[in-house]
């Protein structure tokens, strides 16, 4: 049978029939809050997931914190915690193990496996899907929509699963009908915001319209990334099926002595294993797209779990997945341990599917360049010396004060974002009411430096509730150093933040001052004390 | 073996000279914005060098200096400057996705960490509050020459003591804030400013250079041409006219 959109020569290229099990809103569900409580999961000041209740109240993915709070003031806002998501997902996958082996986790909340064997065993796709839904629902602490999709290839099956969520029935795309099924979806489903933007402007709004283009034209115009997206749109896998198994000597193994019982030990092991694996693959010019993590307990049980990623798994990504997995096994959830008795005695990571390493998707729109690769490697070394959280990057946070607008997050947290499918708008400075006028101060003291501001008579300048000064600021002393005459000043700029919250309430009066020695400071009066909050150095 | 030993050391050196990859002059420097170029002997941050920045306005000038390189794809690591103003850095043009912050390592590990960063990124901003040992200084100098990175040593005025480095920097930029516009006695707000930068250093930088630049509230750096009157007055007039029109 030759399906529409696929030429006869490509027939053997038809992807494996795949089952995808997708739990809706997993990032929110994993928190285990009651179902009627609105939960909003944030990352970089943007909503990345919501519970069904919050969504019903109008909180959309991608909006800012303020916007989310405006729609749903009673919502609980939590930071994204991928480790927790993975840990909570482990029992669900363990339950699915009873249905079929060879389950591969794509990301917490989504897993897939080949349909053929299990489908035949349970008497067809429909009975298999029913069973899967029942199994997953039985494991859920918080009831949530579960979608099961069966189609040719993981991409189509994922879309089918998402469509079926909430209906309690599986979406089964008949063999060979996948291109037809895909053709009605919007190009947005491909990810790649830049590509989607161009396609939309070319008038290609559906996958069907995009798939109708000639593959040669697509690769000529959009490069390899565009070609990969085109393959997906035509109902093919990202890359043609591999014909050989990866060489067996790529496995990396770790014998734990003493056996691993704690999660923090696991983190170190995960990093070491991932680096080792990465080196072995790198020396052959390969990269892993799927790995098998296998653990042997002191009692002799062997547990294994597979992880998959569409792009190649970087060393950091492998380390993360191994850490999540070990965390899931060691910690377990709700008192159950999927591991059974015993600590972890032996660990093995095996790449189950490898692809030639093309230097990590350097495409039409750029991507990791040589400088970034060198930087990431060196930074990993610094993390090795000082700890994983020692290397940080600034992330737009939003706020009035100079120290609030950006906050530092571990560089690992950003690396996570790289290989996840959220297409968030690039974060950056946005208008913020009540923020200080430009220029922003070059130095923001953490903690603020003690200071004293007095008027001509030498008495401390005070500001009353209405923002009136008790005197004209005349001299400034920072940390008990010599007095400097103030030659220019402006203020007070009053901020009254979180007046509704007795504990977090802060009233501040800010001044800009310029002293005779040429310094310019942002000084703050709070609770009858003066501070130098920032310096315009 | 015997043949190999027969090759003279000098011949080897000549051979190394011949087969060494060509380094174009453009690759020996990291770009800086045009207004700041006059203070750099090579017209940019010389790779493999150490630049010291001091004075009032040093932090802003530091950010303005690194902005162009960051925009062109260089990574920047800031070590131990906890007061680094990220909003100001972003406004100056630093790409925050390529700028990392590392908290001040303990003095015993400082050399190791900074050396690893010199390996990893093009620009490392440091402000050590401990005495840098001679061996650390030598190691960092050698490593940055080899990797073509730049160490920028700022000395912030935060009330803490700073020690002299065992060796002199290749280039020292002394920054002085000459004037601010916009802030008056009791009203206004800080706006643009004029800073004077004086460069002094070794080798090619031995001749003293000086430039005056205007750093606008929006982070743009342009050459400052002093008007006939007091410096800064002209800028104030322009600003005033803008806000009315």
Give domain status of residue A409, yes or no. Answer: yes
The answer to whether B188 faces chain A, any CB pair under 8 Å, is: yes
Residue A301's CATH number: 3.30.1490.100
Give domain status of residue A188, yes or no. Answer: yes
Two tokens, residue A391: 């290397």
Q: What's the number of domains chain A is made of?
A: 5
pLDDT confidence of residue B77: 93
Do the beta carbons of residue B141 and residue B168 sit within 8 Å? no
pLDDT confidence of residue B27: 64
User: Residues B194-204: pLDDT tens digits?
Assistant: 998 988 887 65
Give domain status of residue A98, yes or no. Answer: no
CATH 3.40.50.300 fits B26-244, yes or no: yes
User: Residues A35-58: pLDDT tens digits?
Assistant: 888 899 887 778 888 888 888 888
Give domain status of residue A58, yes or no. Answer: yes
User: Residues A317-373: pLDDT tens digits?
Assistant: 888 888 888 888 877 644 444 455 567 888 889 888 887 765 444 334 444 566 777
Average pLDDT over residues A140-162: 87
Chain B residues with CB under 8 Å of A385 CB are 105, 109, 112-113, 116
Give domain status of residue A95, yes or no. Answer: no
Mean pLDDT is lowest, of A161-175, A328-342, B7-21, B203-217, for: A328-342
Beta carbons of B121 and A393 less than 8 Å apart: no
Torsion of CA A120, A126, A128, A133, to 10 degrees: 170
Residue of B nearest to A404 (CA): B87
The answer to whether B117 faces chain A, any CB pair under 8 Å, is: yes
A71 shares its domain with A46: yes
Two tokens, residue A332: 């377990």
Beta carbons of A402 and B116 less than 8 Å apart: no
- Asked if the model's pLDDT at residue A431 lies above 80, the reply is no
A263 shares its domain with A323: yes
Enumerate residues 393 to 452 of chain A having a beta carbon within 8 A of any beta carbon in chain B.
393-395, 402, 405-406, 408, 411, 414, 428-429, 437-446, 449
Residue of B nearest to A401 (CA): B87
Enumerate residues 490 to 529 of chain A having a beta carbon within 8 A of any beta carbon in chain B.
490, 512, 514, 517-520
Average pLDDT over residues B168-181: 88
Give domain status of residue A13, yes or no. Answer: no
A197 shares its domain with A277: no
Question: DSSP letters of A119-165?
Answer: HHHTTSHHHHHHHHHHHHHHH-SS---EEEEEEESHHHHHHHHHHHT
Beta carbons of A394 and B89 less than 8 Å apart: yes
Calculate the average pLDDT of chain A. Answer: 80
The answer to whether B72 faces chain A, any CB pair under 8 Å, is: no
Beta carbons of B101 and A443 less than 8 Å apart: no
Residue of B nearest to A418 (CA): B97
Domain boundary among A62, A80, A98: A80
Beta carbons of B183 and A405 less than 8 Å apart: no
How does strand A252-260 pair with strand A344-356?
antiparallel
Distance from CA of B62 to the nearest CA of A (A): 10
A352 shares its domain with A374: no
Give domain status of residue A67, yes or no. Answer: yes
Chain A residues with CB under 8 Å of B59 CB are 442-443, 535, 537
| CA–CA distance, B37 with B42 (Å, rounded to integer) | 8
Provide the 10 A C-beta neighbour count for residue A220.
Answer: 11
Give domain status of residue A39, yes or no. Answer: yes
Q: Which helix (H) or strand (E) holds A352?
A: strand A344-356
Q: Which domain holds residue A414?
A: 370-418
Residue A54's CATH number: 3.40.1170.60
A341 shares its domain with A375: no
Complex ipTM over 0.85: no
Quickly state the pLDDT bin for B5 (edges 50, 70, 90): low
Beta carbons of B190 and A514 less than 8 Å apart: yes
A263 shares its domain with A350: yes
- Asked if the model's pLDDT at residue A505 lies above 90, the reply is no
């Amino acid at each position: 049978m030759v399906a529409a959109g696929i030429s006869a020569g490509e027939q053997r290229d038809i992807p494996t029939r795949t089952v995808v099990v997708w739990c809706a809103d997993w990032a929110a569900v994993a928190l285990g809050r009651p179902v009627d409580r609105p939960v909003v999961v944030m990352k970089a000041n943007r909503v990345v997931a919501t519970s069904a209740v919050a969504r019903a109240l109008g909180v959309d993915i991608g909006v800012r914190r303020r916007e989310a709070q405006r729609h749903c003031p009673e919502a609980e806002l939590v930071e994204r915690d991928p480790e927790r998501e993975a840990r909570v997902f482990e029992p669900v996958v363990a339950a699915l193990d009873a249905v079929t082996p060879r389950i591969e986790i794509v990301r917490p909340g989504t897993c897939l496996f080949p349909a053929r064997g299990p489908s035949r065993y349970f008497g067809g796709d429909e009975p298999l899907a029913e069973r899967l839904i029942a199994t997953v629902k039985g494991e859920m602490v918080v009831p949530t929509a579960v979608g099961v999709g069966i189609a040719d290839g993981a991409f189509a099956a994922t879309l089918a699963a998402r469509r079926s969520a909430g209906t309690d029935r599986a979406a089964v795309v008949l063999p060979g009908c996948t291109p037809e099924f895909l053709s009605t979806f919007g190009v947005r489903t491909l990810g790649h915001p830049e590509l989607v933007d161009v396609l939309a402007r070319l008038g290609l709004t559906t996958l069907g319209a995009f798939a109708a283009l000639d593959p040669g034209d697509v690769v000529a115009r959009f490069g390899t990334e565009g070609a990969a997206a085109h393959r997906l749109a035509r109902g093919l896998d990202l890359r043609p099926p591999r014909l050989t198994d990866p060489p067996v000597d790529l496995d990396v193994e770790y014998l734990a002595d003493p056996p691993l019982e704690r999660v923090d030990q696991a983190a170190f092991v995960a990093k070491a294993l991932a680096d080792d694996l990465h080196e072995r693959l790198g020396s052959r010019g390969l990269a892993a797209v799927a790995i098998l993590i296998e653990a042997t307990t002191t009692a002799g049980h062997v547990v294994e779990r597979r992880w998959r990623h569409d792009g190649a798994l970087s060393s950091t990504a492998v380390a993360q997945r191994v850490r999540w997995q070990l965390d899931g096994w060691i910690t377990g959830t709700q008192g159950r341990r999927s591991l059974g008795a015993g600590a972890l005695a032996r660990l093995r990571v095996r790449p189950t599917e490898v692809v030639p390493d093309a230097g990590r998707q350097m495409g039409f729109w750029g991507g990791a360049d040589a400088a970034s690769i060198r930087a990431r490697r060196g930074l990993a070394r610094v993390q090795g010396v000082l700890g994983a959280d020692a290397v940080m990057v600034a992330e737009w946070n939003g706020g009035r004060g100079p120290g609030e607008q950006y906050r530092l997050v571990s560089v690992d947290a950003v690396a996570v974002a790289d290989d996840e499918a959220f297409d968030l708008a690039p974060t950056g400075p946005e208008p913020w009411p009540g923020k200080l006028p430009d220029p922003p101060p070059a130095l923001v003291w953490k903690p603020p430096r003690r200071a004293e501001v007095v008027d001509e008579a030498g008495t401390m300048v005070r500001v009353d509730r209405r923002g009136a000064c008790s005197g004209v600021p005349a001299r400034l002393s920072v940390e008990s150093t010599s007095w400097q005459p103030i030659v220019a000043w402006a203020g007070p700029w009053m901020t009254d933040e979180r007046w509704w919250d007795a504990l977090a309430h802060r009233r501040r009066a800010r001044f800009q001052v310029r002293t005779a020695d040429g310094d310019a400071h942002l000084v703050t009066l709070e609770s009858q004390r003066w501070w130098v909050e920032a310096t315009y150095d | 073996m015997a043949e190999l030993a027969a090759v003279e050391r000098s011949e080897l050196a000549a051979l190394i000279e011949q087969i060494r990859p060509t380094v174009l002059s453009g690759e020996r420097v990291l770009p800086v914005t045009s207004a700041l170029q006059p203070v750099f002997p090579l017209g940019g941050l010389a790779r493999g060098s150490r630049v010291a920045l001091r004075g009032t306005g040093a932090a802003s000038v530091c950010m303005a200096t690194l902005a162009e390189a960051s925009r062109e794809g260089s990574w920047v690591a800031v070590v131990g400057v906890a007061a680094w103003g990220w909003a100001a850095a972003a406004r100056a043009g630093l790409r925050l996705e390529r700028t990392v912050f590392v908290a001040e390592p303990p003095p015993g590990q400082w050399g190791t960490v900074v050396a690893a960063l010199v390996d990893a990124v093009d620009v490392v901003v440091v402000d050590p509050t401990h005495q840098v040992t001679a061996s650390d200084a030598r190691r960092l100098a050698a490593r940055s020459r080899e990797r073509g990175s730049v160490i920028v040593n700022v000395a912030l005025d935060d009330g803490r003591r700073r020690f002299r480095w065992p060796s002199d920097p290749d280039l020292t930029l002394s920054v002085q804030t000459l004037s601010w516009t916009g802030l008056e006695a009791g009203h206004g707000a800080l706006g643009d400013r004029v800073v004077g930068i004086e460069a002094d250093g070794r080798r090619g930088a031995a001749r003293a250079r000086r430039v005056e630049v205007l750093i606008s509230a929006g982070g743009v750096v342009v050459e400052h041409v002093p008007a006939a009157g007091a410096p800064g007055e002209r800028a104030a007039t322009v600003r005033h006219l803008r806000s009315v029109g």
